[in-house]
Structure 1
Amino acid sequence: MTLTYIVQIIWSLSALSLIILVLLHSPKGDGLGGLGGQAQLFTSTKSAETTLNRVTWILTVIFMTLTVILSANWLPG
């Protein structure tokens, strides 16, 4: 097991986790309800949504960083 192989596994897991987390997000689109301003009447920020956003951003940074590292061949072997 080389370092490149381990980083590729972490990269793949972060990609799959990122896909799952994006699918778990609640839709932000207001649809036609946004035209009348009623969409803002019932919005509230929840702790779960905030945590989901943070984890998604962290995984995005990990995925993008590993993508650059793997594509630039900065790892030995």
Structure 2
Amino acid sequence: MTVLSLLQIFWVISATSLIILIMLHSPKGDGIGAIGGQAQLFTSTKSAEVTLNRITWTLTLIFMGITVILSAGWVG
């Protein structure tokens, strides 16, 4: 296996993981429910949500970094 193949595998894994993690996030706004006064003004973030945010941001940086490396052709 070459370095290029490994980067492509990590790229696909990070992209798939990002999709799954983003789907796990709770919605921040209530959409149309906010019009009727049903929205909460102050919400507390739970530790699970904070951890999910950190993992999502880390995977985002990994995905974007690998994307730049692969698109620039730095790896033969």
Structure 1 and Structure 2 fold alike (TM over 0.5): yes
1:44 corresponds to: 44
Task: Report the Cα distance in structure 2 between the residues aligned to 1:24 and 1:15, rounded to whole angstroms.
Answer: 14
Q: Deviations over 1:24-74 (max 9, x none)?
A: 001112224434665335621100000000100000000000000001110
1:11 corresponds to: 11
- Structure 2 runs not aligned, ≥5 long: none
Q: How many residues align?
A: 76
Superposition RMSD in Å: 1.6
- Structure 1 runs not aligned, ≥5 long: none
SS in 2 for 1:39: coil
Q: CA distance change for structure 1 residues 41 and 29 in 2, over 3 Å: closer, same or farther? A: closer
- Give the TM-score of the pair, scaled to structure 1: 0.86
How is 1:1-77 mapped onto 2 (pairs within 5 angstroms)? 1-35=1-35, 39-41=39-41, 43-76=43-76
Task: Report the Cα distance in structure 2 between the residues aligned to 1:36 and 1:42, rounded to whole angstroms.
Answer: 16
SS in 2 for 1:40: coil
